Amino acid sequence: MGSETQHESGMSRRDLLAMVGMAAGSAAMYQAMTSLGLAGESTYRGSPNLTGAPKGTSVLILGAGLAGLTAAYELRKAGYKVSILEFNERPGGRNWSIRGGDKITELGGETQTCGFAKGHYFNPGPWRIPYNHHAVIDYCRQLGVALEPFACLNHNAYFHSTNAFGGKPQRIREIDADLRGHVSDLLSKSAQQDKLDESISKEDKEVLLAALKNWGGLDNENRYTKSAAAASLRGYDRYPGGGLAGPSAPSEPMKLQDLLKSGLWRNLNNFFQFEHQNTMLQPVGGMDMIGKGFAKQLGGLIRYNAKVTEIKQDERGVTVTYVDQKAKGTPKQVKADWCVCTIPASILSQIPTTVSPKMKAAIDAVPYVTSVKVGLQFKRRFWEEDEMIYGGISSTNLPINTISYPSDNFGSKGPGVLLGAYQIVQANSFALASMSAPERIAFALENGSKIHPQYKKEFDNGVAVSWHRVPFTLGCGGMWNPTTRKEHYNNICQIDGRMVLAGEHVSYVNWWQEGAILSALDAITRLHERIVKAKA
């Protein structure tokens, strides 16, 4: 599902790594890093070419999230008889968008009815696609799901800290330019005073000075000052006008000491991490267009509202018992030759299932992460009209962490929907998850108004999703650490009798849709080989 880095309060994969380090010893950091996919690239090599499926062989797929849908789509293409059981009354699972009129009932029974205007939505789960997540993008291509840019880095959005600059939000552009400028200035000084002679040759020194001048926006004396060069990066006090309006006036850089003390520079690198770099993408009209795109292809193969209560298997096949959540009544059964189970481990661990002790131990070894997101609709797009912020993300040390502005309908006159809070993994995510939905929304409003004073006047309505209270996942994603990865991961990937597991929790790309799809492709490719071999 991805995570966001904000200030020292924020949560990112790097913070998660810090936590892993704290819990398991920092020597394990590199292993954790690779296991989180930070050091890797998507292993997607195109849709698999599964040939020679024995005629009439059936595969039952549990769960119609992206893993289950991918498995169904590819296995049917390969000639298998495919059917899917899904708990929700819609496809997609965590691939989910909330729109006006939608009812969301969390565990505990609290129901929200979304009041968003037509054409607006909120993605409570995955919300952006990295350019390097080749599988997600390729399936969008195959399914005809239109993609558009998701503005991630917006130089005109804010970094905010209650402990810096009197609590006044700073434009990202200024933090970025001033960090570069001051670092270049210092390094230039060192080079000019021949303090770098052990590191670089005389010829290289000249090039380095030129590079620093260029990259840092330094003046002709290689200093970072209030100058045209600095203003070309950090912006102007007065932008050059037309006619008699006058020439530009440069802005004053912040002092190095103030910049360092503010800590706001910590937020910058988030946007340069591999998975957050430009260009990020989003499906036009909501992330759930992907799940819907798959479901359109799969026609009537998905049985919705089916709560799986038992999974049995023997040497001949798999029998799955489920209860229809709408009709209730007596449990029903589906039989198949093979099974691909994409039910989250948090839930599968509670379902009586015929599996080996090793597989059972692996299923029981995956805790699920907490996460809370709040979507807020405002009557007008004040972030665009008043503050010239078009898409992108503001980061704050306030316990909302994140404000993300919509990347569509720029300049439209009607309302707009913001991501008004995003807490994940850290202690405060549990506190938010424990609040009622109206409390979470009020909390997002109260905190967000410290960055955007327009909040209270312009607020219209909101929805809040606490992933630990989402009935079909009990959390936003599976969490591995180096110890559990070593002990159980290989086991959870195995074909156990006639069943194989898939989902983001059976991947090294945890919490991302890419992980779900890659996991499904790996699982069905191995399952297909097994089936073909068994028949031969």
The residue (of 204 and 439) whose beta carbon lies closer to another protein is 439
Q: How far apart are CA 116 and CA 104, in angstroms?
A: 13
Give dist(CA 415, CA 410) in Å, integer: 11
Using the rule CB under 8 A, is 459 a contact of another protein?
no
Nearest approach, Cβ of 23 to another protein (angstroms)? 5
H or E segment and range at residue 259: helix 256-262
Strands 459-466 and 371-378 come out as antiparallel
> 192 or 350: whose CB is closer to another protein?
350
Residue span binding another protein (CB under 8 A) among the ranges 248-256, 331-339, 468-476, 512-520:
468-476
349 binds another protein (CB under 8 A): yes
Instruction: Please select the residue that binds another protein; options are 23, 39, 200, 207, rule is CB under 8 A.
Output: 23
Interstrand relation of 328-336 and 318-324 (parallel, antiparallel or unpaired): antiparallel
Query: Binding another protein by CB under 8 A: which of 471, 526, 530, 532?
Result: 471
* 431 contacts another protein (rule: CB under 8 A): yes
Q: In terms of CB distance, is 256 or 323 closer to another protein? A: 323
Nearest approach in angstroms of CB 470 to another protein is 8
Long-range contacts of 405-408 (CB under 8 A, 24+ apart): 405/151, 405/154, 405/157, 406/120, 407/148, 407/149, 407/150, 407/151, 407/282, 408/148, 408/282, 408/284
- Which 3 state secondary structure label does DSSP give 135? helix
Q: Considering the rule CB under 8 A, would residue 434 count as an interface residue with another protein? A: yes
**Which window, 39-47, 141-149, 274-282, 366-374, contacts another protein (CB under 8 A)?**
366-374
- Extract the runs of DSSP E, i.e. beta strands, from 178-317: 236-238, 249-250, 280-283, 302-303, 306-313
Note the Cα 57 to chain centre separation in Å: 36
Distance CA 194, CA 192 (A): 5
Q: Which of 368, 378, 459, 512 is close enough to bind another protein by CB under 8 A?
A: 368
Secondary structure, 3-state, 317-336: CEEEEEEECCCEEEEEEEEE
Footprint of another protein on residues 378-417 (CB under 8 A)? 397, 399
Q: Around Cβ 405, how many Cβ atoms within 10 Å?
A: 22
Residue 292 to residue 496: CA distance in whole angstroms: 30
- Residue from 170, 262, 466, 510 binding another protein (CB under 8 A): 466
Q: Is 90 one of the binding residues for another protein (CB under 8 A)?
A: no
| Spatial contact of 163 and 263, defined as CB atoms under 8 Å apart | yes
Is the CB of 106 or the CB of 458 nearer to another protein? 106
Exactly one of 71, 233, 264, 347 binds another protein (CB under 8 A); which one?
347
Only segment of 36-44, 270-278, 285-293, 368-376 that touches another protein (CB under 8 A): 368-376
CB of 64 to another protein, least distance (A): 12
Q: Residue 32, interface with another protein (CB under 8 A)?
A: no
Of the candidates 317, 338, 344, 345, the residue with the CA atom closest to the CA atom of residue 527: 338
Q: CA–CA separation, 401 vs 395, rounded Å?
A: 6
d(CA 534, CA 497): 12
Interacting residues with another protein between 208 and 237 (CB under 8 A): none
Nearer to another protein, 4 or 384 (CB): 4
Q: Which of 280, 334, 389, 432 binds another protein (CB under 8 A)?
A: 432
Closest approach, Cβ 127 to another protein, in A, equals: 21
> Of 136-144, 374-382, 426-434, 506-514, which segment contacts another protein by CB under 8 A?
426-434
Q: Of residues 77, 90, 307, 526, which one binds another protein by CB under 8 A?
A: 307
Q: Is 25 in the site for another protein (CB under 8 A)?
A: no
Residue 441 near another protein by CB under 8 A: no
User: Is residue 7 involved in binding another protein (CB under 8 A)?
Assistant: yes
| Nearest alpha-carbon partner for 226 in 254, 260, 247, 188 | 254
Q: How far is CA 345 from CA 99, 132, 353, 486, 509, in A?
A: 28, 27, 12, 17, 16
In the complex, what is the shortest distance from the CB of residue 260 to another protein, in angstroms, rounded to a whole number? 19
- How many chain residues bind another protein (CB under 8 A)? 52
Q: What is the DSSP letter of 353?
A: B
- Binding of residue 201 to another protein (CB under 8 A): no
Q: Residue 31 CB, nearest distance to another protein (Å)? A: 18
Interface with another protein, residue 472, by CB under 8 A: yes
Degrees, nearest 5: CA angle 5-16-129: 55
303 in contact with another protein (CB under 8 A) = no
Residue 89 found at the interface with another protein (CB under 8 A): no
Q: How far apart are the first and last CA of the chain?
A: 40
Residue ranges in contact with another protein by CB under 8 A: 7-10, 19, 22-23, 87, 107-109, 307-308, 343-347, 349-351, 363-364, 366-370, 397, 399, 425-428, 430-435, 439, 443, 466, 468-475, 479
